[in-house]
Amino acid sequence: MPLPAGRTAFTDTVRPGFYRLHGDGPIRSWAVQVAPSESRTTPTLAEVLDALRVPLTDRAWTTEPEPAKPALQAAEETEGQQKLWRWFLAATLLILVVETVAAGWAARRNTRPMEGQTA
């Protein structure tokens, strides 16, 4: 940014960082730091936090379960019913294995030579 005529100081630095001045003379560098008030580490008053509705109790750390809501109970029941497909899949696979074993046993039984016949 050009410095207007008649000004000897540049005061338009709004962000912290390093700045360089290019002019007729040598290049000048300077650093702009944050305001000291921004590094204030004093604790916030409890009244201010309460006004902002920040919970100040250890309620989040309690292990007591909250009472279940009807909508939540209905959702859990629906989820439990949706897991029923696993049992149906297991039963189908079991029936398939039993049918395969029975078919193999029946096929071997029919291919055995009867007594008195030669193979």
Looking at the domain assignment, is residue 40 inside a domain?
no
Alpha-carbon distance of 93 to 102, in angstroms, equals 14
Looking at the domain assignment, is residue 83 inside a domain?
yes
Looking at the domain assignment, is residue 26 inside a domain?
no
Looking at the domain assignment, is residue 99 inside a domain?
yes
Structure confidence at residue 56 (pLDDT): 74
Looking at the domain assignment, is residue 74 inside a domain?
yes
Structure confidence at residue 91 (pLDDT): 96
Q: Which domain holds residue 93?
A: 70-111
Looking at the domain assignment, is residue 78 inside a domain?
yes
List per-residue pLDDT tens for the chain, 119 residues long: 677 777 777 777 778 888 887 777 788 887 888 777 777 788 878 888 888 888 777 655 555 566 667 888 888 888 777 777 888 999 999 999 999 999 999 888 877 666 666 55
Alpha-carbon distance of 16 to 34, in angstroms, equals 6
Looking at the domain assignment, is residue 35 inside a domain?
no
Domain count for the chain: 1
